[in-house]
Structure 1
């Protein structure tokens, strides 16, 4: 295959300990490992790319009564600017490598694509998108969570067929 479909992937899903608590969230089905061997994967942790340390305080998205969102750490520090910077870095990386898809960690204030924590630091999840997932989608990159991996497999297969024609 001359030009395989590229996929932006959350670094923690590939076993790297970059999550807020210094852990990884390994998710390595055989297809993902094959894609890695085929040099399709572009790894990115938006928070680490923006300069956040590992470990770091947990952060969640809070919404104002007007619907504006802010990312705050568990000590109430507003870190929205850093998370927006990480989202921008992830987008630039995806565009540079012509990624059509992204596989991101659901629940994260950066990478959550269908679920995020509710901002109360109580462990409750709500429907919503992290800042990176939102920016990628707004720029035409289809975002999948690890729970949607079979849909990503189908999308990549279709993309490869279209590229081969």
Structure 2
């Protein structure tokens, strides 16, 4: 298991508003397979110009190692997991629900501590997915739903977008949220 991902838990004097961002989108190799899925360099630079980017990996915060077996939400979505009605498991049958829930709560605590009202999280992830997640059959099929962390952040009033929203014309509402 690698050392936990260093995260900025202390608020700074930075005047830019905080934007919670999946660490893998910022280039940290924390995904289940030990890779990153970095945003294009120009995109990250543009976001960093307007926002204080706060890296978060809920799965690592929940204590899961990198690499780790791919996991999916079985028979539900993030809201179902938080309500105790669904589980997050890997294809080998290992259940990781408690780690996903703990990571979601720690991600929310980080967002609140930094004053983040918006989050840019990795599409389709069982933690960070927004709008569409894998269907729990480990075949690559997507279905409607949010990941565990996304569900908790939205429940707390934090607006969540994915990197796919960037590719499809930007982040509705984010431009308006930046103070002029």
Cα deviation for residue 37 of structure 1 reads 5.2
Cα deviation for residue 39 of structure 1 reads 5.9
Contact 1:14 1:28 in 2 (8 A): no
Post-superposition CA distance 1:22-69 (Å, at most 9, x none) = 1111113524313335661000000111111110001000127xx622
- The 5-angstrom pairing of residues 1-165 of structure 1 reads 3-28=15-40, 30-36=42-48, 40-63=52-75, 68-149=85-166, 150-152=169-171, 154-161=172-179, 164=180
TM-score scaled by structure 2?
Answer: 0.81
Post-superposition CA distance 1:101-134 (Å, at most 9, x none) = 0000011100001111111111111111100000
Structure 2 gap ranges (5+): 1-13
Query: How many positions carry a matched residue from both structures?
Result: 158
The ranges of structure 1 where at least 4 consecutive aligned residues each deviate by more than 6 angstroms after the TM superposition are: none
Cα deviation for residue 9 of structure 1 reads 0.2
**How far apart, CA to CA, are the structure 1 residues paired with 2:145 and 2:173?**
22
| Aligned-partner SS, 1:87 | helix
Contact 2:19 2:51 in 1 (8 A): no
TM-score scaled by structure 1?
Answer: 0.88
Cα deviation for residue 74 of structure 1 reads 1.5
Structure 1 gap ranges (5+): none
Contact 2:24 2:31 in 1 (8 A): yes
